[in-house]
Structure 1
């Protein structure tokens, strides 16, 4: 009499094949997920100047282990690194000296030394949003060997000069970034501006155009002021 039942060894073999199939599928899914996560954390080109010879490029990426997004713009400037960093410092002082500043009702240089500068700023926001306040420390770096200039900034709420929290204002908890100016030919610079922030629940289709516009305006300002 033929036994039509599957033997235990036969069943084990079939089970093993099915298990291997699921394992391979799981490994491939995990690998694909890991690749996607890795790709999100690499610089992605999102916008480029439409000229035949692009004058700027914008990239973005996620910062590993944080909720922060990072954007950067790169472009050449027809001025030396020293002239470029001077234009950046001059803009801060101009904002602080503008007593009728509509964009920044309050813009104070709280503390200043040779290599750093502390500002307290209130930014006017459209109705119905609260005005925002920022306490930012800027650090200036000069590399004598490669002759590049850099400024980095970060939120600084632990300073004793910072006023206590106000219900009328919304604090910008994270405000970080940098400008780096690297020397290239003919007394010109390669400029790189990076900003970091937490977009929270704002969608990327809204965040990316806003940040791109902000970065382009910053690069255009340095170009314009150093060309005068």
Structure 2
């Protein structure tokens, strides 16, 4: 099976919220483990043919959030490729301009213009997002536990491109040229334990130790999604007041 990468170089913007400090004040306790990914039917979403990993992660997060908070929303591959096209200029008909995605560009577009989503309300708008240092395991855990997931960018070692789907990504199992980076990849972090993090990639729930994640990750973002993460009573699946958290993020 062919597997595609597609995360562009890290783009920095000093205006991006630093989410870790806000969450630490508002939500000081970090559960020892939390897993929103169990039983979520992740799919490939075209990432075996095109470098649409950032938008496969969008679909994975949407599925994870809605299964926990409301009712499962499973985006189609057509919708995922339409989102990729909208943000980057990719051509789904010809496969042209398949040049990957800068995650900050995706997130800004998602927040301001929305991304395609069939049905009502017809577009998916990200409420807010903030950066988290990818080496800060405690803040990554906190964002997963309370926001339902993290969008992360990693530099994939060559050896991980040839292991089976769903097999643990562990740098300790690699050596020599297999440790060399093959390219950038976007993944959705959707659960964790004391030992490592669960993530969705290439349609499969996968696990990696924290020591591996902190070595290969080069960017991470906590995402606030009013549209997908709020239950009918208007709170998150954990019962937090979303609007109070959002106010503090915007005041930071």
Q: Taking structure 1 as the reference length, what is the TM-score of the superposition?
A: 0.25
Higher relative contact order, chain-length normalized (CA < 8 Å, sep 6+): 2
Bigger proportion of residues as strand? 1
